[in-house]
Amino acid sequence: MKKRNILSCLAVLVLVALGIARLNTLLRPVDTDSPVTAIETFHTLPENSVEVMGFGSSHMWLGLDTMTMYDEYGIGAYNYGCNWQELNTTLLFLKDALRTQHPKVVLIDTFNVNTWKQDMNMDGEIYYTTAIPWMKDKLTYLRQSFGPYHKERYLSYFMPLAAFHENWVNLSEGSFRTPDQSGDDYLKTMGYSPSDSITPVEIPDQTLLEQQPLQDEAAQMLTQIVELCREENIRVVLCTIPWQGTNLYAEYLQNFADFYECSYVNLYDHIEEMGLDASADFSDTGHLNSTGAAKIARYLGAYLKANVSLTDFRTQENNLWEQAKKR
């Protein structure tokens, strides 16, 4: 009888655990499904298989067509950008990537260069980093984002039901799918998130802007990113991708790049050279569409081929990028 009671209790505990796990999935913020899928896809790549990696916010994720870099120059690139990223999230992604990849070059998007951490609850980027496998640096990241005293935020990170229990009123068809059923195929695009939407924009004259320095915390975080890459003998290229907004830190970033012997490419300065069309190359006021992302890829690809010794992967049969085309 005692053994039967123990087995019954264990069965109940298993059912409760399965129920909680299902509710965690059901009530999650579904707008993070694509980033979660993107992170999980990256971890399927063979080790040390890419030479160029892009990191940063959605401006990188939607703004750099890595397949065009391959088609035009044979560059073996992967776009590991994601929505909303502040600098501490970019650093976490970089450390995650370096566990399995050792690129020759990393491209760092500077859109959020002056916002070094996401000091919020479980919205956006903090939630989707749950897809990054556990490592000591994740604890550092959570401490930066949540602080040492908000125990409920840590609970929410590991048990989303605690944060999103009111999401039952917002259930949609997507809620009943798992993130890997989102339909996104990031192996097909080598990480890049394409959009075919077209929104005409007006790009401000950047020459009229009063330049500003970075906050001390942001400068320190950017320095950590660059120094980590220098330790790994990886070249850093900071890049500002155009949008309907302003770049207030171009002068600071150029001085920063000169001091740390890395590179800075302010793509606002090359709009005409790239042929970037404000009436046709943007998906919305903040992001490029597929034609715009291809133009960015061509320009940065040419820059990298001229300044870095990179493999022409087009000479290798059945490489990752050729496999991507067959998907």
**229-277 tens-digit pLDDT:** 999 999 999 999 999 998 999 999 999 999 999 999 999 999 999 999 9
Residue labelled with tokens 């996401």:
118
Res 217 pLDDT > 80: yes
**113-148 tens-digit pLDDT:** 998 766 554 555 677 888 899 999 988 888 888 777
**20-48 tens-digit pLDDT:** 444 445 444 545 567 888 999 999 999 99
d(CA 13, CA 15): 5
Res 170 pLDDT > 90: no
Beta bridge partners of 235: 105
Residue scoring higher pLDDT (141 or 14): 141
In which element (H, E) is residue 236 found? strand 235-240
> Which tokens in the block code for residue 140?
């550092």
Residue labelled with tokens 């073996």:
76
Q: Quickly list H helices, the chain.
A: 2-26, 33-42, 58-61, 66-73, 87-97, 124-128, 136-146, 151-158, 161-164, 216-231, 250-259, 271-274, 290-307, 320-325
Query: Using alpha carbons only, what angle is made at residue 84 by residues 184 and 190, rounded to the nearest 5 degrees?
Result: 35
For residue 70, what are the domain limits? Answer: 2-325
Walk across the sheet containing 52-55 and list its strands.
Answer: 77-79, 52-55, 105-109, 235-240, 263-266
Residue scoring higher pLDDT (177 or 211): 211
> How many domains are contained in the chain?
1
Which has the closest alpha carbon to 237: 211, 212, 257?
A: 257
Residue scoring higher pLDDT (63 or 126): 63
pLDDT for 180 equals 52
pLDDT for 209 equals 82
Is-contact 315 308, C-beta < 8 A?
A: no
d(CA 135, CA 57): 22
Q: Check the CA dihedral 24-27-31-33 and report its sign.
A: positive
> Which tokens in the block code for residue 280?
């046709």
User: Directed axis angle between helix 136-146 and helix 87-97, to 10°?
Assistant: 170
Q: How many CB atoms lie within 10 A of CB 191?
A: 27
Is-contact 125 118, C-beta < 8 A?
A: yes
Is-contact 310 304, C-beta < 8 A?
A: yes
pLDDT for 2 equals 62
| β-strand pairing of 263-266 with 282-284 | unpaired
Q: What is the CATH number of the domain that holds 277?
A: 3.40.50.1110
d(CA 173, CA 321): 33
